[in-house]
Structure 1
Amino acid sequence: MNHHETAGGRGHRGRPDLADAGISKTAGEYTDRFLVLLAPGAQEEGMATLRSRAGTEPAERIRPDVTESTAEVLEQAGSVVFEDLGVAVVQAAPDQRRAVMETARDEPAVLAVERERVLWASQLTESRAETATADYLRGYHDGVEELVQHALERIDTAALREPGTAGFDESLVTWGLQAAGVPRSAFSGQGVRVAVLDTGVDTGHPDLTARLEGAASFVPGQAVQDGHGHGTHCVGTACGPRTPGAAPRYGVACEAEIYAGKVLGDGGGGTDTQILAGMNWAFGQGCRVISMSLGSPVGPGERPSRVYEQIARRLMRAGTLVVAAAGNESERPHVVEPVGHPANCPSVLAVGALDSGFAVASFSNAGLNPDGGQIDMAAPGVDVLSSWPQAPGHRRLRGTSMATPHVAGAIALFAEAAPGASAAELKSFLLAGARRLPLPAVDVGAGLLQAP
């Protein structure tokens, strides 16, 4: 996510025109809508208060069973309510905004009000990747050499590194799957539903189409077909087949059921409304894990979203885990940025990225902010091979986006291994099984992802 670029044009009702593939991004970009967290059992009361006090429009109710018009409803409606999530999105003119914000201060039915953000795919752009020169990377490794050497004196390095760490043999299986112990797992994610909310999926990809159980677009004017590539890559890492065509195995949960929600446009951007619609749909489809390789940068000391935190808690109680990318704003060793939104929510599993030498990727954000904002675990996120919409059908990318679906796929394996486990128990199994690393917890959390 390159936050030095500027925002693009404006679309319907003054909102960012995210359907434009050429749009650029900026930190802290917002729309003219607000997210409203409603008290359980008081949704009608909360929305009535907003209408009477702030003059908001009557709300369209968005159900989990998606129709072809859902994306257009999200775009055209002045207000929408996701009943299963307990959240509304309302549009407010400049003279209404103060009244909308004030409802959370003295109205029990309204628990929180936040501005709607613009979010982006958490893939490191090619231009940023090119800045990671050998000298730059050498500087990072020099910066942590003392810590690593001290730790290596006290541990068995064989327990951390597979033979030939710096050059994994990827003729049969990608280095990321090897590092996470996927080939030795007895589980495949069979019968487990995995949702990847991203730029969609290549619905005709030969490696994926047979297991694509559900697909829906929440981007107005765009089909679920992936015109960007990021979503197809993430779907492949989480759920690619055991024996793909013309490539080594690259998918973690090779027999899981794939649900692909397009919440980011072909330009790589989307809004909170689109992400919430995708989460609402994925939950309604019975998915055990929701993988989101997307986010928005946050500043030092910034607290997490109360809306997303409550949604993640509600989903966890209902059996669904949410996993999100920590973000790529860091330029180690000189600049380390905090975990972005929504991964910074305590109940969202935040994933950092490692390279094949088990070092923190230079771009990976860290757990620096209070009230959550931590890295929960790290996974392979550099030089990751996975599916791609264009020929030859596979491509290597880097980013915390690439690390996140490794974790989502592993959750599917744990869910198969313990079918009666709650979402909280799956999270505990995942973190307890991580391989400890001689690196700060603010960078890697519990450690390197390990399959059951």
Structure 2
Amino acid sequence: MTSESFGRRERGEQFELCDQSVLKRENAYTGRYLVLLDPQEGKRGMEALRSRAGVPGAEQVRGAEAESAVRILEEPDVSALFPDLGVAVVGVAPDQREALVTAAQEESSIIAAEPERLVYISTITDQSREVTGYYPTYRSDEDVLERHTTAAMAAALGPAWDESDHTWGLQAVRANHCRLTGQGVMVAVLDTGVDTNHPDLAARIAGTASFVPGQSVQDGNGHGTHCIGTAAGPADPQQRPRYGVAPEARILAGKVLSNQGSGSDGQILAGISWALSQGARVISMSLGAPVSPGQLFSPVFETVAQRVVAAGTLIVAAAGNDGGPVNHPANCPSILAVAALGKALHVAPFSCRGQSLAGAEINIAAPGVEVRSAWPMPQVYKTISGTSMATPHVAGIVVLLAQMEPGATAPELKKRLISGAYRLPQPPENVGAGLGQTP
């Protein structure tokens, strides 16, 4: 097994030395590093990086300081430290990388470090994969169907559902029979932003923040608006059918990917920090970067997820659309990986599968083929497919569970979600516990 991270042994896990070959792959990394710090020794760790590896001075970014996060992440000669997560995004000169490796291995206040990934929402072709050897994608759109038009997909599409009043996805998770609405619960969707003028969503947006330099939270892509609609679209949309699982949830829209569909790990971490500061009970991330078979999860994102769970919040993420192993960051043990189902409740051919590695399993499945939801004006609605569409179904279910049991911890919410799933006659590595169900 290989890992793209390096650092010290913690909690019985060995974080292996970085495979330096991955740093040579085109268009995979930003050139900066994510550094996981001991929360009690963050200042000492940053000082060690500065003195031993020439890492520039760090500026602290609190969760609510979105503008500061954008400014700092944009400047190559400044490091961003997120104290609530215990993570820093640092720049380091190429000739200082070995010094960074040494500092991460020897300094007790530094737990791990790894290259910061570039991430994308746009569909990446097989040719791109051959060029880069590693093609991070944050994608989920109608092109998935075009690339996977097979007998298996035809079977996944399944029988016709009557969607005159509720989308087939809401019927499958039984949201059409649930009396809970998500009232008073915050759901954060970290994506390409939101159409702040959408007639179905505008009145319930509790907070927005953009972590993309030079771009407002206004969604110029559509992906983020679609995911927000599935998680928390209204009970009475401008046009039927209803498509939102938790119709009275309060919406937090964090823009971590640009209108062109690109972003970085640092922007995602900034979005997570912001969502926590705003009181989100669930963070939905319909995004993922493909990993190689046998590749370990990111220790930085895993530890961040553990700290988020300890704060009372669950993270759900898309398993991925390349049909391979569960993507980053959904392959982290403390992040729920969501697979996509078609209308026959069979796993979609494009949906990633689990591996026999810690965290690399599918946790749960949800509707992800031909899903109708909100879309930026003037189109208003659109039907697309992918594990990105399955993920906000699960986020909406978690919102309803949090409303039902306001005092539940994040592990308790996860337990109720998994135990309440509808078992499917398919391998757990494809569908996890089964089809997510509303309480």
Preserved CA contact (<8 Å) 2:144 2:386: no
Given candidates 178, 197, 202, the residue that maps to 1:204 is 197
Q: What amino acid is the match of 1:41?
A: Q
Preserved CA contact (<8 Å) 1:37 1:110: yes
Q: CA offsets, 1:137-194, max 9 Å, x none?
A: 36x88xxxxxxxxxxxxxxxxxxxxxx9711111110000000011111211100000
Does 2:368 correspond to 1:360? no
Change (3 A) 1:384 1:128: closer
Preserved CA contact (<8 Å) 1:313 1:347: yes
Q: SS of the residue aligned with 2:94?
A: coil
Name the structure 1 match of 2:124.
none
Change (3 A) 1:188 1:165: farther
- Paired residues for 1:269-288 under 5 Å: 269-288=262-281
Name the structure 2 match of 1:147.
none
- Scaled by the length of structure 1, the TM-score of the pair is 0.85
Does 2:91 correspond to 1:91? yes
Q: Displacement, 1:133?
A: 2.4
Does 2:65 correspond to 1:66? yes
Given candidates 143, 149, 160, the residue that maps to 1:133 is 149
Q: Displacement, 1:390?
A: 3.2
Name the structure 1 match of 2:216.
223
Q: CA offsets, 1:242-268, max 9 Å, x none?
A: 000013100011000000000000111
Name the structure 2 match of 1:34.
33
Does 2:321 correspond to 1:307? no
Given candidates 179, 187, 197, the residue that maps to 1:194 is 187
Deviates more, 1:313-322 or 1:100-109: 100-109
Preserved CA contact (<8 Å) 1:302 1:369: no
Q: What amino acid is the match of 2:278?
A: Q
Q: Displacement, 1:128?
A: 3.9
Identity of aligned residues (%): 55
Q: CA offsets, 1:303-340, max 9 Å, x none?
A: 0000010111111011010110000011xxxxxx1000
Name the structure 1 match of 2:417.
430
1:261 and 1:347 map into 2 onto residues whose CA distance is 21
Preserved CA contact (<8 Å) 1:338 1:369: no
Preserved CA contact (<8 Å) 1:189 1:255: yes
Q: What amino acid is the match of 1:50?
A: L
Change (3 A) 1:222 1:39: same
Q: Displacement, 1:126?
A: 4.0
Preserved CA contact (<8 Å) 1:28 1:298: no
Q: Displacement, 1:65?
A: 1.5
Given candidates 347, 351, 354, the residue that maps to 2:338 is 351
Preserved CA contact (<8 Å) 2:62 2:82: yes
1:296 and 1:370 map into 2 onto residues whose CA distance is 17
Given candidates 282, 288, 295, the residue that maps to 1:295 is 288
2:192 and 2:424 map into 1 onto residues whose CA distance is 33
2:140 and 2:223 map into 1 onto residues whose CA distance is 11
Q: Displacement, 1:290?
A: 0.5
Preserved CA contact (<8 Å) 1:123 1:397: no
1:174 and 1:297 map into 2 onto residues whose CA distance is 29
Q: Displacement, 1:106?
A: 1.2
Aligned length: 398
Q: What amino acid is the match of 1:244?
A: P
Does 2:392 correspond to 1:405? yes
Q: What amino acid is the match of 1:376?
A: N
**Runs of 4+, deviation exceeding 6 Å:** none
Q: Displacement, 1:202?
A: 0.3
Change (3 A) 1:27 1:349: farther
Preserved CA contact (<8 Å) 2:31 2:115: yes
Name the structure 1 match of 2:160.
167
Name the structure 2 match of 1:47.
46
Q: Displacement, 1:64?
A: 1.1
- Scaled by the length of structure 2, the TM-score of the pair is 0.88
Q: SS of the residue aligned with 1:195?
A: strand
Preserved CA contact (<8 Å) 2:361 2:429: yes
Change (3 A) 1:176 1:127: closer
1:270 and 1:348 map into 2 onto residues whose CA distance is 20
Q: SS of the residue aligned with 2:139?
A: coil
Given candidates 228, 239, 246, the residue that maps to 2:232 is 239
Preserved CA contact (<8 Å) 2:66 2:210: no
2:179 and 2:59 map into 1 onto residues whose CA distance is 45
- State the Cα RMSD in Å: 1.7
2:191 and 2:67 map into 1 onto residues whose CA distance is 18
Q: Displacement, 1:72?
A: 2.1
Change (3 A) 1:391 1:247: farther
Change (3 A) 1:126 1:255: closer
Structure 2 unaligned residues grouped into runs of 5+: 1-24, 122-137
Q: What amino acid is the match of 1:270?
A: G
Does 2:91 correspond to 1:75? no
Q: What amino acid is the match of 1:432?
A: S
